[in-house]
Amino acid sequence: MLRRIIPIAVIIVGFSVFPLVTNDNFFQNLTITILIFATFATAWNIAGGLTGLFSLGHGVMFAIGAYGAVLLSRDVGIPVLVAIPLSAVVASLVALLIGLMSLRLSGHYFALATLAFGAIGVVLLNNFADITGGDEGISIPFTPDPWGLVFQGKVPYLFLNLGVYVGTVLIFIALVRSKWGYRMRAIREDETTARSMGVSVLRTKLFAVSLSAFLSSIAGSMFAFYSLYITPENTASVSTSLEPALMSIIGGMGGVFGPLIGAILITLLQQQVITVIGAAVPGLANLIYGALLIVCILLIPKGLLGFLDQLRLSKRIAKKPAQPEEIPEPEKDLESV
Amino acid sequence: MNAILEARGVDLQRGGLKILSDLNISIEEHKVTGIIGPNGAGKTSLFNVLSGFMRLNGGDVLFEGNSIVGLTPETICQRGIARTFQKVRGYPSLSVRENVLVGAVNRLPRHEAATLVDELIDRMDLEELADQPAEILSVGNRKRLEVARVLATGAKVVLLDEVMGGLVPTEVRQMMTLIASLKQHGITVVLIEHHMNAVMGISDHIYVIERGRNLADGPPAEIASNEAVIAAYLGKEYTDAEV
């Protein structure tokens, strides 16, 4: 248990002390972005890392959170703090629906199906322009109101998103240790064996995608009220869908803190690409992600955290003295026919 | 006779191939039943039918008197039939303990599951490896882990598919003792095995299958001297050697 509590304490203290040390807008912005996407990637990881459902359509869940919370509060008049969980429930239901259609597929086929649902999400957002603002998206007016989650400075956003991230991580940890967590990991490792051991595969997968969608939607809402500008491109697009997957792969899928490590690396990389290259070469950022992904899959297939874990394990094994193996005597009468 | 699991006139067909034809078996409760036959006879397919992984084309499978045809493998397992796989499966990156926990935690409260798993790991002689990932286990340990996983599901009937394949003689003996002990724990065992001495030694009843059909069945001694079985499967050397 201590193994889990210490990193959480370090994260809370680290991210809390940070705004006190630096007043720099750039760094604060970077930290908030990391936390939002770490939440998103941790949520994705419930389906992708824990259950082995490699979704490439999570942008839709992120968009439901972003658009849902904004539209429900702006157009329907529901308080923001109610609109956010309400959108998350909608995202869960949508995930259940998509799940029922796609969860009988496995591996690449499931990934492709979710990619298609992601594309459908973008088309819907673009074409229901009366409600969603089409491809121009929605600008949320900057009128600071703590209950509307629009704040004057960046520090409240930082603590809000730190809270949401830590909450998501605690849910993830509780899940891993629960019977659902065991079922999910069993399915990820070997679906046939899981079924033979009485694990209800479809029910477990549906639970995984709906919980993952719920939390992804909350990350989407956080993104909307922080960036104050949402479009189909920055919420539902394929590149948004790819981000949590990429972050989890690079940081380490299946683990608790892999997505955070991935979110830190990818967000820093994004900023570097923008700062150094700017928009001079369009598409270059994607090229760099692609290259990074290939390098990671080839060199550290279990992600950065998985790699460190393996290093630790091999050191531990190296320390143990080798034990002579027992050599059984051959017995002819037990030979197989 | 008290049959807990019965296959009645089972037909199984895939493509143009008849895998099982009018196959009948009756598994007695708290006994060890061996299933033998040449490679390709349909033994594993029979397990696939009994555990719900393959839909049969005709006949019926009864468990505790009720038909289980059409049920999913997970439901059949929840009712009380669990199986191992000929080619060892499992959860490679989970620890040995977690591999076993999956079956236990799926049906029991956490603390009860943990106690059961500790007991099973102890019984299977896997304590030292409990926290190691299953992928590093040797064949012998993997086979015992398979048995532990199956027992964690709380099954009344366990279908063991060649759990002695690839084992060294000492491990075969250990596995035989283990299977015999299952009977004492009130578990019914169905065993597919090519280790003739092992299967003859621990089975109470043996079914011989050839080309998807019943060839013979009876107590081990009777099977060992059955002319048809010798011709189809055992070979003359076996009977000359002993039994």
Please write the tens of the pLDDT for every residue from A133-149: 988 999 998 888 888 88
Identify whether the C-beta of residue A278 lies closer than 8 Å to the C-beta of residue A268.
no
Identify the bridge partners of residue B12 per DSSP, sorted by sequence position: B20
Selecting from B74, B101, B169 the residue whose C-beta is nearest the C-beta of A330 gives B169
Contact status of B128 with chain A (Cβ, < 8 Å):
no
Selecting from B53, B106, B170 the residue whose C-beta is nearest the C-beta of A197 gives B106
Assembly ipTM: 0.90
Residues 6+ away with beta carbon under 8 Å from B231: none
Taking CB atoms and an 8 Å cutoff, what residues of chain A touch B135? none
Residues 6+ away with beta carbon under 8 Å from B119: none
Please write the tens of the pLDDT for every residue from A235-255: 999 989 999 999 999 999 868
Please write the tens of the pLDDT for every residue from A53-81: 999 999 999 999 999 999 999 999 999 99
To the nearest whole angstrom, how far is the Cα of A106 from the nearest Cα of chain B? 17
Identify whether the C-beta of residue A240 lies closer than 8 Å to the C-beta of residue A64.
no
Residues 6+ away with beta carbon under 8 Å from B141: B126, B129
Does the pLDDT of residue A322 top 60, yes or no? no
A8-22, A218-232, B121-135: segment of lowest average pLDDT: A8-22
Selecting from A183, A185, A333 the residue whose C-beta is nearest the C-beta of B197 gives A333
- Indicate the pTM of the whole model: 0.89
Contact status of B85 with chain A (Cβ, < 8 Å):
yes
Please write the tens of the pLDDT for every residue from A167-212: 999 999 999 989 999 999 999 999 999 999 999 999 999 999 999 9
With CA atoms as reference, report the closest residue to A45 among A313, A223, A260, A221: A260
For residue B44, count other CB atoms closer than 10 A to its CB.
22
Question: Which pLDDT belongs to residue A26?
Answer: 84
Which chain A residue's Cα is nearest to B80? A198
Selecting from B78, B94, B171 the residue whose C-beta is nearest the C-beta of A198 gives B78
Domains of chain B by residue range: 95-154
Taking CB atoms and an 8 Å limit, are A198 and B152 in contact across chains?
no
A309-323, B90-104, B174-188, B212-226: segment of lowest average pLDDT: A309-323
Please write the tens of the pLDDT for every residue from A254-269: 689 999 999 999 898 8
To the nearest whole angstrom, how far is the Cα of A188 from the nearest Cα of chain B? 8
Please write the tens of the pLDDT for every residue from B35-70: 999 999 999 999 999 999 999 999 999 999 999 999
